[in-house]
Amino acid sequence: MLTRSTRSTTTFSHDFMIGDSQQELPPGSYEILVQEELMQGLSFEAYRRTATYLIVRGRGREAGQTMMKIITKEELEHAIAYDRALSATINESEAALFPQEDTT
């Protein structure tokens, strides 16, 4: 089978947990690695996702260590959506506390 890997980066603004893990991860940028395999026998080129990994780089005492956590696409999408919703809630709360000044 022919395979390919793609890498991307996503940034979390708040502490988060992903999947069934009880480990809370700090905010920051995280690399996402997606592995796919070519689906053969089709009249067009198509790939099927075989694995998704969240690359967690060590910080503090664990600097220099890297961990690849296998996750699902849905778990990643849920964590990103939750982080964005939390950011929106915080921004709305701050706007309510500090209304814009009337400059007219």
Report helix, strand and coil shares of the chain as percent, to nearest 5: 25, 40, 35
CB 46 within 8 A of CB 39: yes
What's the angle, vertex CA 12, arms to CA 9 and CA 16, rounded to 5? Answer: 120
Residue 1 has pLDDT above 70, yes or no: no
Query: Residue type for 39, please?
Result: M
pLDDT score at 104:
52
pLDDT score at 79:
93
- Rounded to a whole number, what is the distance in angstroms from the first to the last CA of the chain? 67
pLDDT score at 54:
96
What's the angle, vertex CA 7, arms to CA 54 and CA 84, rounded to 5? Answer: 60
Give 26-63 pLDDT, tens digit per residue.
999 999 999 999 998 889 999 999 999 999 987 777 77
Give 53-98 pLDDT, tens digit per residue.
999 987 777 777 899 999 999 999 999 999 999 888 876 655 544 5
